[in-house]
Amino acid sequence: MSGNIQLLSDTLAGARSEGRAALIAYLPAGFPTVDGGIDAVKAVFDGGADVVEVGLPHSDPVLDGPVIQTADDIALKGGVRIADVMRTVREAYEATGKPVLVMTYWNPIDRYGIERFTAELAEAGGAGCILPDLPVQESDVWRQHADKHGLATVFVVAPSSRDDRLAKITAVGSGFVYAASLMGVTGTRQSVGAQAQDLVRRTRATTDLPVCVGLGVSDAAQAAEVAAFADGVIVGSAFVKLMLDAPDPEAGLAAVRGLAGELAEGVRKR
């Protein structure tokens, strides 16, 4: 079975044809448990997410703020393994037929084996990987394996990225471009702001790939603000925080389903 990069591309194109941005949710695998994490991914899809990024919990998540670090820590203490990440992707995809990506730092893939990782992700129905710390100039071997298995390679660009650097990144990425709305780690913010809009404009000048904005979006108003200038709105910490704060797992699932519904309305108000 080859990966689902085409499903990802079709989903993003479908949102654009409806005159709206796509809603992309992030949830870590294994949080609060492996089964609970799978249920959470299904819940955000049920609420209205178009795409879900499944995080591969890592002991040194340099891009992630305290909310996601806390969830990762819970997942790691629960013994989450790469096999559990693959199972999360498989069950979420088989239940919904919607695109599921993995967001991971490079070290776990490097240790696991690139061919093994890409083959298993494709076999699970995954659409690709977001690799926030893999330098483009060192990505050739990864991309060869990802391309062979029909997987997207999503790179992250930041407001500090110069135009020539953006062009190099977007020339070799696939699926979409992840535009980090501001410098710093993940987390909810009061405003996602002008920096993100400028980054999207500069990135679009270098590529026809969809440009999706993450880091800081937490409610429907912010989703609408970003949807006005981006192809996709990425939300992670807000979902994870709801689950951390929930009194029990069922309440957590209801909360993330509800937030997905509000955000899905937000991205349609561009």
> Structural domain boundaries of the chain?
4-263
Confidence (pLDDT) at 185: 45
Q: What is the pLDDT of residue 126?
A: 98
| pTM passes above 0.75 | yes
Give 251's Cβ-side CA count (13 Å radius). 8
Q: Where are the alpha helices (DSSP H) in 152-219?
A: 163-172, 193-204
DSSP designation for 126: -
Q: Which of 189, 225, 194 has the alpha carbon at shortest distance from 67?
A: 189
Which three-class secondary structure string do you get for 79-107?
CCCHHHHHHHHHHHHHHHCCCEEEECCHH
Sequence letter at residue 240: V
pLDDT of residue 235: 95
pLDDT of residue 56: 96
Cα Dmax for the chain: 48
For the record, the structure tokens of 241 come out as 């925080």
Are 72 and 60 in contact by the 8 Å Cβ rule? The answer is no
pLDDT at residue number 62: 65
**What's the pLDDT score for residue 187?**
47
Question: What is the CATH T-level fold of the domain 4-263, as seen in this structure?
Answer: TIM Barrel (3.20.20)
Catalytic residue numbers read 53, 64
The pLDDT of residue 181: 76
Residues of the chain with pLDDT under 50: 183-189
Q: Given this model, what pLDDT does residue 60 score?
A: 74
Give the residue among 245, 241, 238, 232 at the shortest CA–CA distance from 260. Answer: 238
The pLDDT assigned to 215 comes to 74
Order of strands across the sheet that contains 177-180: 152-154, 128-130, 100-103, 51-55, 22-28, 232-235, 211-214, 177-180, 156-157
